[in-house]
Amino acid sequence: MTSQTGVFLARTAVFYHMSQFHSYCYIRSGHTRFTYRCLFIAFCASVFILSAHPTASGKAVGYVELVPPIYDSAYSYSNGLALVAREVNDTVLYGFLDRSGNEVIPIQYESAGPFSEELAPVCVAGKRGYINKSGEMVIDNVFDFALGFTEGLARVEISGKYGYIDSKGGFIIPAIYDDARAFTGGYAGVKVGGLWGVIGRDGNEIIPFLYLNVNTLNHDLVAIYSATGWNIMDMHGDTIVPFQYGFIDIFCEGLASVWVGNKQGFIDTTGNVVIPAEFDRVDRFNNGMAWVMQNRLIGFVDIAGTIALPIEYTSVSRFNEGYAFVQNANQSCLIDLTGRTITSLPRYDQVYDFHEGVAVFIKEGKRGFINTDGEEITPPVYDSADDVIEGISVIEANGKYGYISFIYYDESDVNTNYDEAVSFTMGSFFVTEGSHVLPKPPVQPVIINGRVMLPCRYLCEAILHGSVDYDEDSRMISANLSGHKVIMMIDDSNVIIDGETLTLSQAPILIDGHAMVPLRAFEKFVSSLTWIEESMQVLLVR
């Protein structure tokens, strides 16, 4: 189960209904991974802000395996931490990783939710409370059920009733409701006696408890469901759209899709029909475009309702970050918002939306990643792969889950061939050159006294394309790099480069019989050398 939002031809009204009105259901002990993953995807979609990841402005040029597939469950990063699960003594327990892949909050909780607004719900001894990023229980585990924070409030359950607490654990709205949804724009849907209404942050009733369902469409409007269908009300309880639709989706870029019989179209926030309900399926608007389907072929309409791209494709992705994938019998390519072809692609089973400059593709049932130039950053080797969030993606192989971290490079920084960019991360055996994975180094890169250390032969031969000799008796390293001579000694801080002696802050050492040398000693032989602190990564451009 992945978080992609591309086109699935079998999407139905039931899917829309479930995704909109039941995604709030939080995992309890024993619930399936699928249920929890659906919740987490919906949660991330609602709270993640792309600008929070500064490296996404560059081009994705490579990746490193941050964490190998070793977990029974793994979820996307949120607030800089990722929720993971592993079976321990026949019990699935949860903990959190930092952006370097370290288990900074131990795997010990019976269940847990992602971090939101600096806190995460966890279950200990059958009761839920909240921890901070240091793993401290800052809100006692006294709740039967607990969800993440939105707009400063979290939904909790006690004795079968729901209410809302603040970040200090105090009830702002008492636990008197049969069910409750997250606050959006200062309003939340709640259920009493089998019927739904809407309350404000003060707990006062905004829309009375008279309806079979409610769904917040944006900060000002709510969809109301009764036996005669769906309508739209504002937060004063005034009807904007009468009960006439089979379903009303949320507003995106000012338009919401509606069902009329078995067809779909779009209305605006005043209830006016902007795009008539004449399509078999439609998607939400994004980047000013929405895909529409007729007779199992797909095209795009703009916000004015004009067919911007012809309904002739068999597979597409949503426009995101200005790009979309389209494919028919004649072409497979990435296009921009004008319909111009950016690059042709191989035949893929599917390409999903771009997130932070990277999109998941499927080929022969396996997942890989491409960038906005259509270059394959990773080969299709994963059984599943999630969208990139905070520069990192969840990947699955052989029923286990791990993480890969993407390397971004800004073309304006160095005018160089991206294929020459080599990247690796601390504690990983994976090193990439452009979109290719290099042979594994014999020893993992390590940090000693603040210096990145690499196996000398691997650095000189596999990365810098030179040659190296090592004399065991004298423990002398001799490297030849494009005609330049480098001489070093194990445990000696001096290095001789083309006859000039320099002093290193960290001497070469032996690890498992391999000579490890400081990368900075070879800095003059590359165009640029960048250390990315938050992900413990090195980007080297020859």
Q: What is the DSSP string of 78-102?
A: ETTEEEEEEEETTEEEEEEE-TTS-
Radius of gyration in angstroms for the set of CA atoms belonging to the chain, rounded to a whole number: 27
Query: Cα(398)–Cα(86) distance, rounded to whole angstroms?
Result: 15
Q: How far apart are CA 388 and CA 393, in angstroms?
A: 5
In this predicted structure, what is the pLDDT of residue 44?
36
The pair of structure tokens assigned to 27 is: 């995992």
| Contact present, 300 and 292 (Cβ < 8 Å) | yes
What pLDDT, on the 0 to 100 scale, is given for residue 54? 36
Hey, how many other C-beta atoms are within 10 angstroms of the C-beta on 295?
A: 7
The residue to which tokens 């330049």 are assigned? 484
How far apart (Å, rounded) are the C-alpha atoms in residues 230 and 324? 32
Query: What are the C-alpha distances in Å from 274 to residues 198, 232, 291, 503?
Result: 28, 16, 15, 71
Q: Which two tokens stand for residue 197?
A: 């209404």
* CA separation for the pair 415, 409 (Å, rounded): 11
Could you tell me which of 153, 113, 127, 124 has the C-alpha nearest to residue 27? 113
The pair of structure tokens assigned to 242 is 């009468």
Which of 493, 513, 522, 516 has its CA nearest to residue 505? Answer: 493
- pLDDT score for 30: 31
Longest CA–CA separation in the chain, Å = 89
pLDDT of residue 534: 66
8 Å CB contact between 507 and 393: no
pLDDT the model gives residue 234: 92
In this prediction, residue 430 carries a pLDDT of 67
Question: What is the pLDDT at residue 528?
Answer: 80
pLDDT at 243: 86
The two structure tokens encoding residue 324: 């979309």
Token representation of residue 423: 């990247």
Residue with tokens 């996307």, as numbered in its chain: 76
Q: Are 394 and 74 in contact (CB under 8 A)?
A: yes
| Residue 186 to residue 218: CA distance in whole angstroms | 11
Q: What are the Cα distances from residue 524, in Å, to 411, 448, 485, 487, 537?
A: 21, 21, 12, 14, 19
In whole angstroms, give the CA distance from residue 426 to residue 535.
9
Q: Confirm if 196 and 187 have CB atoms less than 8 A apart.
A: no
| Main-chain phi, psi angles of 118, to 5 degrees | 75, 5
Residue type, 467: S
Instruction: Return the amino acid letter for 180.
Output: A
Contacts of 70 (CB under 8 A, 6+ apart): 86, 400, 401, 402
Classify strands 400-409 and 315-316 as parallel, antiparallel or unpaired.
unpaired
Task: Report the side by side order of strands in the sheet with 111-112.
Answer: 111-112, 120-124, 127-131, 137-143
pLDDT along the chain (542 residues), means of 10: 36 28 28 37 33 51 85 95 95 94 95 96 98 97 97 97 97 97 95 96 94 91 92 90 92 96 95 96 97 97 96 96 95 95 95 96 96 91 95 95 84 48 74 74 86 93 92 93 92 92 92 92 85 77 76
Q: What tokens appear for 216 in the block?
A: 């917040």
